[in-house]
């Protein structure tokens, strides 16, 4: 009879036993459970005296690993443990499993044994392979070195890149050779560029400097030279193209624009007025009591322009408002697209976008 048939037969007999069992009322079930509990308690009281009873041969009383404070009984031969008091001497061999193994368990054991054998064979073959590889001649560009993570084992290191690998290299590293060639080519190109730059510097040192410039040693790169404006003491690394910019007339200073960070404007130190064009003469000093001096009676205008769009100034210290149709007397046109002039309607002087007006004369 197969295992499945035995299981089906037991299940059928258990079902028949349940059907034939007398039906009990809830009170009768409670009474039966109470008597079973009293019997269990009496057995536990009796088992407390087990510590005074002599153990059969081959057994010892030890503390439980899963329930600290309680004790179990251990077979000194097989180290098997049980919670109940042993009634017979300990067996010298491990007892067979209480439940017979099924077919699936047997297959698992067979598979485990086969895997263990395959692993042992694999390790043995790898060991033989390592011995054989140690006698082979390495391709060019490789050396044998001790592994950093597995002391005692040898790995293979690329002498060009410093990379390591555990397997034996099969061919010379053509790709790494190409990398080395490219690196060498770049190194030579850099050396040629530096030589050319030095030659250019040497030629520049022999050229006459424009007016207002002088050649001085760099503060940040000792041994190299830069060019200094003798008027303003400003420095630059490239050879100057023209005469040095002369200092501003007294009463003016060059400051960064508030509305265009990175660009510079010119500020009157007396009145704090600003303008975008470089001044040619000193401004009039401030009048007594802090009042600004009167503007020059006559100003030179290069043309007149008519506003074609409305423009609201963002920075009213430097810019002027425009309404469509306003006439502006233009004093200066900057290369960045901003013009300078006076709005005849508001009599305000400042900068405005040249794309918002059209020249009328």
> CB under 8 Å, gap of 24 or more: what pairs does 197-203 form?
201/225
Is 263's pLDDT higher than 60? yes
Q: Is 340 helix (H, G, I), strand (E, B) or coil?
A: strand
Q: What is the pLDDT of residue 296?
A: 40
For residue range 29-86, what is the model confidence (pLDDT) as tens digits?
888 889 999 888 877 666 666 777 888 988 998 999 888 888 899 998 888 999 888 8
Four-residue CA torsion sign, 72, 73, 79, 80:
negative
Dihedral pair phi/psi, residue 348, rounded to 5°: -95, 140
List Cα–Cα distances, 247 to 213, 253, 281, in angstroms.
13, 9, 11
Give the residue-averaged pLDDT of 184-189: 90
Is 282's pLDDT higher than 70? yes
> Confidence band (pLDDT; 50, 70, 90) for 357?
very high
Is 307's pLDDT higher than 90? yes
Q: Which of 316, 312, 313, 355 is nearest to 333 (CA)?
A: 355
Q: What is the largest CA-CA distance in the chain?
A: 131
Q: What is the pLDDT of residue 45?
A: 67
Q: What is the pLDDT of residue 289?
A: 38
pTM, to two decimals: 0.28
DSSP state of 319: B
Distance between CA 283 and CA 271 in Å, rounded? Answer: 9
> Are 137 and 145 a contacting pair, CB within 8 Å?
no
Residues 6 or more apart whose Cβ sits within 8 Å of residue 163: 157
DSSP state of 213: E
For residue range 84-125, what is the model confidence (pLDDT) as tens digits?
888 889 887 766 655 566 678 888 888 888 998 998 899 898
Distance between CA 344 and CA 338 in Å, rounded? Answer: 18
For 164, the enclosing helix (H) or strand (E) is: strand 164-165
For residue range 309-337, what is the model confidence (pLDDT) as tens digits?
999 988 888 899 999 999 999 999 988 89
Give the residue-averaged pLDDT of 248-258: 84
Distance between CA 82 and CA 96 in Å, rounded? Answer: 15
Phi-psi region of 94 (alpha: psi -120 to 50; beta: other; left: phi over 0): beta
**Burial class of residue 299 in the structure, from the number of CB atoms within 10 Å of its CB (0-12 exposed, 13-18 middle, 19+ buried):** exposed
Is 298's pLDDT higher than 80? no
């Amino acid at each position: 009879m197969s295992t499945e048939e035995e299981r089906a037969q037991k299940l059928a007999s258990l079902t028949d036993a349940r059907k034939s069992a007398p039906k009990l009322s809830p009170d009768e079930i409670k009474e039966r459970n109470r008597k079973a509990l009293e019997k269990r308690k009496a057995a536990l009281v009796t088992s407390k005296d087990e510590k005074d009873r002599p153990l059969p041969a081959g057994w010892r009383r030890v503390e439980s690993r899963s329930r600290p404070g309680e004790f179990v009984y251990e077979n000194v031969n097989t180290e098997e443990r049980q919670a109940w008091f042993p009634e017979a001497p300990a067996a010298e061999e491990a007892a067979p499993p209480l439940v017979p193994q099924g077919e699936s368990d047997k297959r698992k054991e067979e598979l485990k044994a086969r895997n263990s054998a395959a692993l042992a064979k694999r390790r043995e073959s790898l060991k033989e392979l390592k011995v054989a590889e140690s006698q082979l001649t390495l391709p060019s560009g490789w050396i044998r070195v001790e592994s950093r993570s597995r002391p005692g084992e040898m790995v293979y290191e690329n002498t060009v890149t410093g990379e390591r690998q555990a397997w034996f290299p099969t061919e010379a590293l053509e790709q790494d050779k190409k990398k080395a060639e490219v690196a060498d080519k770049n190194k030579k190109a850099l050396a040629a560029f530096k030589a050319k730059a030095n030659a250019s510097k040497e030629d520049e040192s022999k050229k006459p400097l424009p007016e207002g410039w002088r050649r001085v040693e760099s503060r940040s790169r000792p041994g190299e030279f830069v060019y200094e404006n003798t008027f303003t003491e400003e420095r630059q690394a490239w050879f100057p193209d023209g005469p040095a910019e002369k200092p501003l007339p007294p009463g003016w200073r060059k400051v960064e624009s508030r509305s265009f960070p990175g660009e510079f404007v010119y500020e009157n130190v007396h009145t704090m007025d600003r303008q975008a064009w470089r001044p040619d003469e000193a401004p009039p000093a401030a009048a007594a009591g802090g009042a600004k001096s009167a503007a020059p009676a006559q100003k030179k205008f290069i043309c007149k322009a008519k506003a074609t769009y409305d423009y609201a100034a963002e920075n009213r210290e430097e810019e002027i408002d425009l309404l469509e149709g306003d006439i502006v007397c233009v004093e200066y046109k900057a290369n960045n697209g901003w013009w300078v002039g006076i709005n005849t309607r508001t009599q305000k002087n400042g900068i405005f976008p040249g794309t918002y007006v059209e020249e009328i004369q």
